[in-house]
């Protein structure tokens, strides 16, 4: 699920440059908490926001004249500030409610971990009518250990639910893949490709969330693995989508 921010016109945000006099367009952010919120009061929602900055391609230095409009607005806001919010929106990243014992393979880069943090809180922290009895497997790709979000929470799930939660990290600036190059999330998936494909064949749901740029590399890896297994990836993907096992939310 995503929260929508119809950011209004004010001294910080300014006007929509493409529509003089009008507010900026809606911005979407994945919600990192369940309906109960981090305080379990049903009145809070958590977002995972990274400040968007831009760099001059010639100098390589930060271009202070260009900043992410909504991300900087949110990061600069202070406790007590009022922010216009609507939503939630979207049905792609919803957990299926018919099978509490399903397997969920979650693949994220950076702040794309937000919805999966919410899933895991739902599965392991909250008292719900149908207790989760399946397997949750998170693959998280970031640059280095300092960029790992909610790592303490995820590590705690490993200790408390070792038979139900798996957590694999790909740190591109710290880890090496089998070929000696940088370790990206698709490389980590490839390490466990036999298990991943078997789980998908058994009905597992697979989710992807992060920057759009994550998907080509992942798709190429899955296609290569499928071919090595003697499978037609295009046909397999078509079947996964038909079975509603394939969930993608990228930005």
Annotated catalytic residue, options 29, 73, 119, 207: 29
29 is catalytic: yes
**Among the options 55, 153, 235, 251, which is catalytic?**
251
Please indicate whether residue 73 is annotated as part of the active site: no
What are the two backbone dihedrals, phi and then psi, of residue 103, each rounded to the nearest 5 degrees? -100, 135
How do beta strands 246-250 and 205-210 pair? parallel
Instruction: Say how far residue 247 (Cα) sits from the centre of its chain.
Output: 11
Q: How far is CA 225 from CA 18, 24, 160, 211, 230, in A?
A: 45, 43, 33, 23, 9
Contact of 250 with 211, CB cutoff 8 Å: yes
Q: Is 39 a catalytic residue?
A: no
Beta bridge partners of 249: 209
In this structure, the dihedral spanned by the alpha carbons of residues 244, 163, 186 and 142, taken in order and rounded to 10 degrees, is 110
Q: Which two tokens stand for residue 221?
A: 């890896």
Q: What single DSSP character describes residue 130?
A: S
Is there a catalytic annotation at residue 157? no
Give the active site residue among 70, 119, 184, 249.
Answer: 249
C-alpha to C-alpha distance for 193 and 189, rounded to whole angstroms: 6
Say if residues 149 and 115 touch (Cβ distance below 8 Å): no
From 126, 195, 209, 231, the catalytic residue: 209
Give the active site residue among 2, 15, 30, 46.
30
The answer to whether residue 209 is catalytic is yes
Which residues sit in the known binding site?
Answer: 30, 50, 111, 172-173, 182, 210-211, 249
CB 70 within 8 A of CB 7: yes
Known binding-site residue numbers for NADP(+): 30, 50, 111, 172-173, 182, 210-211, 249
Catalytic residues: 29-30, 209, 249, 251
């Amino acid at each position: 699920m995503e929260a929508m921010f119809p950011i209004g016109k004010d001294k910080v945000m300014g006007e929509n440059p493409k529509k003089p006099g009008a507010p900026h367009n809606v911005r979407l952010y994945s919600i990192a908490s369940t309906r109960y919120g981090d305080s379990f009061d049903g009145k809070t929602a958590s977002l995972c926001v990274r400040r968007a900055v831009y760099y001059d391609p010639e100098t390589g230095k930060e271009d202070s004249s260009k900043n992410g409009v909504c991300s900087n607005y949110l990061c600069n806001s202070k406790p007590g500030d009022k922010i216009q919010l609507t939503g939630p929106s979207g049905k792609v990243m919803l957990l299926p409610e018919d099978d509490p014992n399903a397997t969920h393979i979650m693949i994220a880069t950076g702040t794309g971990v937000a919805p999966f943090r919410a899933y895991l809180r739902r599965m392991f922290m909250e008292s719900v009518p149908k207790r989760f009895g399946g397997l949750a497997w998170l693959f998280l790709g970031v640059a280095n250990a300092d960029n790992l979000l909610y790592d303490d929470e995820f590590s705690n799930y490993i200790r408390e639910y070792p038979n139900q939660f798996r957590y694999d990290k790909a740190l591109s600036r710290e880890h090496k893949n089998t070929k000696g190059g940088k370790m990206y999330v698709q490389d980590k998936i490839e390490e466990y490709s036999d298990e991943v494909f078997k789980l998908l064949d058994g009905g597992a749901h697979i989710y992807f969330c992060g920057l759009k740029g994550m998907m080509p590399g992942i798709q190429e890896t899955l296609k290569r693995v499928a071919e090595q297994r003697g499978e037609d990836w295009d046909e397999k993907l078509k079947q996964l989508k038909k079975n509603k096992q394939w969930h993608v939310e990228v930005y």
